[in-house]
Amino acid sequence: MISITIENLVKRFGEHTALDGITFTIEAGEIFFLLGPSGCGKTTLLRTVAGFYAPDAGRILFANEDVTRLPPHKRNTAMMFQSYALWPHMTVARNVAFGLEERRVSSQETDRRVKEALSSVRMEDYADRKIAQLSGGQQQRVALARALVIRPRALLLDEPLSNLDAKLRLGMRAEIRRVCKESGLTAIYVTHDQKEALSISDRMAILESGKIAQIGRPEEVYRRPQSRVIADFIGETNFIPGTIASANRETAIVETPLGTFEGVISDPSWTPRPSEPATLSIRPESWTINTEAPGANSTNGRIGESVYLGEVAQYQFLAGPFKLKIFEMNPQLSNRHAGRELFASAMPHDVVVLRA
């Protein structure tokens, strides 16, 4: 179990700067996610940590050891790719043992560690099967066991579940977190799947144009995005333009076309001033629909389109020129109030005030 420190990391490909002064620390035993839109630098960062790319500037530390110029095989990390890269002509056990055989580990020790690795991913009963006889989820478990068997200092995962169907992905999310925690592994995980990141990570970093846009625990990033880009990337939200009426260090009153809203300032580097333009971010599940006006932080409108999904209903709430997306858990409204004037409100702690 090691900490990983990235210091002022820069990586260029010709004229393009893929990583632009990245700095952060991953704590020992932490599952740390890298997210962001395509081309933001997350895979480049992971491959630089693995040693596949040499940075143009900056350092990478494993605990107190500078590994910036070490080749991949001397960093003792294990990497899982989108493709499982399993040998189809070998059995499950031989696939898992491959890394140990390359390291010239004794056959007795190899057998013991292969059994332990397969047991940790609950595949010990499949040791003698060929890869072609396994499902996609089982192949993913074998790839995970192969990564674990060498006892790496860190586990690096590059969208490892992207080739699985939705149901298998759900099961493997919990499995990967369980295995990492039971093994005490420090893990860096690249994904474009926000639900994956929210459900597995201890912390996450959102990258934008080769820079860190925000780092935090899943609930922090989701509930307190520090920019419109992050709010739009993680989950769904409603953006409402407005103007600052008043503000202190933590909250602001914002005048909008839908009324006056009080909200939380999530960007610690921003001090809003009166008359300054701003944007509100309000998640669909943060709204409450009422038949009577609740007062502050509310707007009137009516339900347009609605989709009933059993445990939740998704509404298009027509408020003036805006079409707000609102989710109702354990829905009671359904279509009973179609066309009727209603009121949508949000608590101040669920309203995030962002720079315009």
Phi then psi dihedrals of residue 251, to 5 deg: -130, 165
Q: Which among 67, 249, 282 has a CA at the least distance from the CA of 156?
A: 67
Instruction: Return the sign of the alpha-carbon dihedral for residues 117, 123, 127, 132.
Output: negative
The number of helix segments (H) and strand segments (E) in the chain equals 8, 20
CA distance 301 to 5: 50
CA distance 311 to 326: 14
Q: Is 4 helix (H, G, I), strand (E, B) or coil?
A: strand
Tokens of 306: 């609605």
Q: Is 169 helix (H, G, I), strand (E, B) or coil?
A: helix
Amino acid 217: pLDDT: 97
Q: Which among 243, 252, 242, 222 has a CA at the least distance from the CA of 234?
A: 222
Amino acid 169: pLDDT: 80
CA distance 203 to 219: 9
**pLDDT tens track, the chain, 356 positions:** 799 999 999 999 999 999 999 999 999 999 999 999 889 999 999 999 999 999 999 999 999 999 999 999 899 999 888 777 888 889 999 999 988 888 889 999 999 999 998 998 889 999 999 998 998 889 988 988 998 898 899 999 998 888 777 777 887 888 889 888 988 899 999 998 888 999 999 999 999 999 999 999 999 999 999 999 999 999 999 999 999 999 998 999 999 999 999 999 999 999 999 999 999 999 999 999 988 888 889 999 999 888 888 889 899 999 989 999 999 988 876 555 667 889 999 999 999 999 99
Amino acid 338: pLDDT: 66
Tokens of 274: 């009166």
Neighbours of 196 (CB within 10 A): 22
Which domains are assigned to the chain?
A: 4-223 (3.40.50.300), 236-355 (2.40.50.100)
CA distance 219 to 190: 18
| Long-range contacts at 316-320 (CB < 8 A, ≥ 24 apart) | 317/287, 317/289, 317/342, 317/344, 319/258, 319/344, 320/257, 320/258
- Is the pTM above the cut of 0.85? yes
Amino acid 259: pLDDT: 95
* DSSP assigned state of 27: P
CB burial string 149-166: b at 16+ within 10 A, e below: bbebbbbbbbbbbeebee
Instruction: Return the sign of the alpha-carbon dihedral for residues 331, 223, 349, 253.
Output: negative
CA distance 8 to 56: 10
Amino acid 333: pLDDT: 66
Helix (H) or strand (E) holding 109, with range, is: helix 107-120
